[in-house]
């Protein structure tokens, strides 16, 4: 019977790390056109010995659209064991292409393992480069409200993978690490994480004062400040009111009102502490 199967080039789905070739459940799903969770279900139901399982499969995590998911890395033997049940002419071509890719990677590794691993690992940023990127992302995120920081970090990782066309940030070319850091540092919040800020036009006079602030959503607010209003720390407020002469002019009735409010506050604090002591 004539063989009409065309071998598919699957080299992009096989990676090397620590001198070993492997693929992932994500890559298998992509290659065979399957849903990732279906491939994971298949892997979870494999009937093999514990020794084979631990030698050929390992759990990893990946990020997608701000969420963290589990995946499984597998060796060539693990891959072959998994795809035994995948049938059809297309599946056969993909399996054969995958095996060719594993063999090609193994051949390169056996020719000069030290050189190849140096090329593969040294050519990408790896885990140490990811640490550098994470620090840059954290510094950038510090300018955002706390509620938005986690979302920004997930989004930034996704943007980096898209920008440098890699499946993991660890696979960003080593020579592009400075570009990746600059990409993060130059990322613009406005329009995505924060509203775009329009220039505020303030029409005031010699006696007008304004307070410009930003709320937790990053929206700019402008408020007119009354003539007798002061922006002070708590200690400066107390000094300004009670020192003689103080910087803040306070009438005698106002001073008594302030004193009464202070006494009521102190009494409330004392009663609260007494209740806690009895509890």
pLDDT value at 105 more than 60:
yes
229 part of a folded domain:
no
Instruction: Give the strand pairing for 20-24 and 15-17.
Output: antiparallel
pLDDT per position as a tens digit, 83-95? 877 776 677 777 7
Domain co-membership, 106 together with 131: no
d(CA 208, CA 204): 6
- Counting the structural domains of the chain, the total is 3
Sheet holding 20-24, edge to edge: 15-17, 20-24, 67-74, 57-64
Could you give the C-alpha distances from 7 to 4, 25, 94, 103, 198, in angstroms and in order? 10, 21, 7, 14, 57
Tell me what pLDDT residue 4 has.
44
80 part of a folded domain:
yes
pLDDT band with cut points at 50, 70 and 90 for residue 117 = very low
264 part of a folded domain:
yes
pLDDT per position as a tens digit, 141-159? 888 888 888 888 888 888 8
212 part of a folded domain:
no
2 part of a folded domain:
no
Domain co-membership, 142 together with 58: no
pTM of the predicted model over 0.75: no
Domain co-membership, 139 together with 59: no
45 part of a folded domain:
yes
Which are the contacts of 250, defined by CB distance < 8 A and separation ≥ 6? 241, 258
207 part of a folded domain:
no
76 C-beta neighbours (distance < 10 Å), count: 20
Domain co-membership, 151 together with 71: no
The token duo for 1 is 């019977």
CA angle 213, 219, 224 (to 5 degrees): 40
Which are the contacts of 68, defined by CB distance < 8 A and separation ≥ 6? 61, 62
Range of the domain at 97: 11-116
pLDDT value at 8 more than 70:
no
pLDDT value at 26 more than 60:
yes
> Across residues 54-68, what is the average pLDDT?
82
Tell me what pLDDT residue 72 has.
92
Last residue of a domain, one of 92, 116, 140: 116
Last residue of a domain, one of 74, 98, 116: 116
């Amino acid at each position: 019977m004539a063989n009409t199967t065309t071998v598919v080039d699957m080299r992009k789905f096989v990676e090397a790390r620590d001198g070993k070739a492997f693929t992932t459940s994500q890559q298998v799903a992509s290659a065979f056109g399957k849903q990732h969770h279906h491939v994971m279900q298949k892997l979870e139901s494999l009937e093999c010995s514990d020794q084979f399982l631990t030698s050929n499969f390992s759990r990893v995590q990946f990020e997608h659209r701000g969420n963290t998911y589990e995946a499984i890395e597998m060796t060539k033997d693990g891959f072959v064991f998994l795809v035994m049940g995948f049938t059809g002419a297309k599946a056969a071509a993909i399996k054969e292409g995958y095996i060719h890719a594993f063999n090609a990677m193994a051949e390169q590794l056996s020719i000069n393992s030290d050189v190849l691993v140096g090329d593969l690992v040294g050519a990408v940023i790896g885990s140490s480069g990811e640490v550098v990127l994470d620090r840059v992302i954290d510094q950038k995120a510090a300018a955002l409200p706390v509620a938005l920081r986690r979302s920004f970090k997930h989004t930034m990782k996704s943007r980096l993978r898209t920008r440098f066309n890699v499946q993991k940030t660890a696979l960003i070319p080593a020579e592009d690490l400075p570009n990746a850091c600059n990409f993060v540092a130059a990322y613009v919040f406005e329009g995505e994480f924060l509203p775009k800020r329009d220039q505020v036009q303030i029409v005031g006079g010699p006696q007008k004062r304004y307070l410009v602030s930003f709320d937790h959503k990053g929206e700019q607010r402008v408020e007119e400040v009354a003539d007798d209003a002061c922006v002070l720390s708590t200690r400066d407020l107390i000094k300004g009111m009670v020192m003689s002469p103080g910087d803040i002019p306070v009438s005698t009735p106002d001073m008594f009102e302030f004193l009464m409010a202070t006494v009521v506050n102190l009494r409330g604090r004392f009663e609260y502490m007494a209740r806690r002591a009895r509890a």
